[in-house]
Structure 1
Amino acid sequence: MIDIVDEDDNVVGTAPRGHAYAHGMRHRCSFILVRDAADRIFVHRRTARKLVFPSLYDMFVGGVLGAGETYDEAALREAEEELGVSGLPRPEPLFRFLYEDGPRTWWSAVYQVRCELPVHPQPEEVAWHAFLTEDELTRSIRDWEWVPDGLEAYRRLLEWRAAR
């Protein structure tokens, strides 16, 4: 079950995840940019079995919040699950935005965290992974097929950084 939210991110109900996706119900997601000790960014390709954006590349780990779960709780849970680690520092919240793309709409909380632990990504979630420098990531954005919500979150992250 996941929380369904309005345009101001207020909970207005709950629904099974598949039902929410099938009916374009607005919900909540966390996006966590993960850097290693060398300041490289964790990038991965989603598995073909993913319900949303299968087999596309992403520069964030994260996912949908469970019913009653906070963004902060979900950010830590999702980062540890997808990276296959435990004892990760609490991800730092950066900003939120409403992602809208046709029937797909969700409130998105963007975080960052440093992971100096060896990663063991979930095979159900991650088909391939690597840590890339920002220059390598910038080049790959032109050549690889990326999840659209991740690209939007990354674009907003770059704008957020430039404004600080």
Structure 2
Amino acid sequence: MNPADEILDIVDEHDRVVAQFSRGEAYARGLRHRCVFIETRDAAGRLFVHRRTATKLVFPSLYDLFVGGVVGAGESYDEAALREAEEELGVTGLSRPEFLFKFLYDDGAGNSWWSAVYEVRCEQPVRPQEEEVQWHAFLPEEEVERRLREWEWVPDGLAAYERLRAFRAGR
């Protein structure tokens, strides 16, 4: 199936389902939907970072600190988090990602989605989807911090990363 044809739940400002549309239509009309962001670390605690392919519908060719994607119609955030993590990392049998928090991402320019943030440890070799991931590596935290100033990142991922840092600082 073409990703643009995937059916999504359209939600209001309170994350209540109000309609269903294809992903392509939701993006074209700027309709609010649901997404998951999964921070993935390896056994050494390094963070999975990747560059999106040029064919992505949203934020093509930018770097990302999370694996993830849209939540399908009728799918729970938890189900989507596990599905997306396994798909993007190219693994099976991953432990269920741990839910951390949810926030409404809205850039004021037609991109708006409820964003559920998760974390998971992946100790097996990854084989990311070629159609999703152009480049990837597990990087130490210090290198990620340095690269935040050097590379062009997806804006929703940066928003999630900043919130994740604040969330962890408040624990």
Which TM-score tier does this pair reach, normalised by the shorter chain? over 0.9
Find out whether 1:139 has 2:118 as its counterpart.
no
Write the letter of the residue equivalent to 2:15: D
Name 1:98's counterpart in structure 2: 104
Name 1:89's counterpart in structure 2: 95
Cα offset, 1:26, TM superposition: 0.2
State the SS of the aligned residue for 2:126: coil
Cα offset, 1:147, TM superposition: 0.1
Cα offset, 1:63, TM superposition: 0.1
**Aligned partner (choices 114, 117, 124) of residue 121 of structure 2:** 114
Write the letter of the residue equivalent to 2:31: M
Write the letter of the residue equivalent to 1:131: F
Find out whether 1:163 has 2:150 as its counterpart.
no
TM-score, normalised on structure 1?
1.00
Q: In the TM superposition, what whole-angstrom CA distance separates every residue of 1:89-138 from its partner, at most 9, and x where no partner exists?
A: 00000000000012000000000000001000000000000001111100
How large is the RMSD of aligned CA atoms in angstroms? 0.3
Q: In the TM superposition, what whole-angstrom CA distance separates every residue of 1:74-100 from its partner, at most 9, and x where no partner exists?
A: 000000000000000000000000000
* Residue ranges of structure 1 left out of the alignment (5+ in a row): none
Find out whether 1:154 has 2:158 as its counterpart.
no
| Cα separation, 1, equivalents of 2:45 and 2:25 | 39
Cα offset, 1:71, TM superposition: 0.2
Write the letter of the residue equivalent to 2:167: W
| Cα separation, 2, equivalents of 1:26 and 1:59 | 22
Write the letter of the residue equivalent to 1:11: V
State the SS of the aligned residue for 2:149: helix
TM-score, normalised on structure 2?
0.96
* Residue ranges of structure 2 left out of the alignment (5+ in a row): 1-6
Name 2:3's counterpart in structure 1: none
Name 1:71's counterpart in structure 2: 77
State the SS of the aligned residue for 1:108: strand
| Cα separation, 2, equivalents of 1:18 and 1:42 | 28
Cα offset, 1:73, TM superposition: 0.1
Q: In the TM superposition, what whole-angstrom CA distance separates every residue of 1:32-61 from its partner, at most 9, and x where no partner exists?
A: 000000000000000000000000000100
Name 2:58's counterpart in structure 1: 52
Cα offset, 1:6, TM superposition: 0.2
| Cα separation, 1, equivalents of 2:34 and 2:152 | 24
Find out whether 1:28 has 2:26 as its counterpart.
no
* 4+ long deviations beyond 6 Å: none
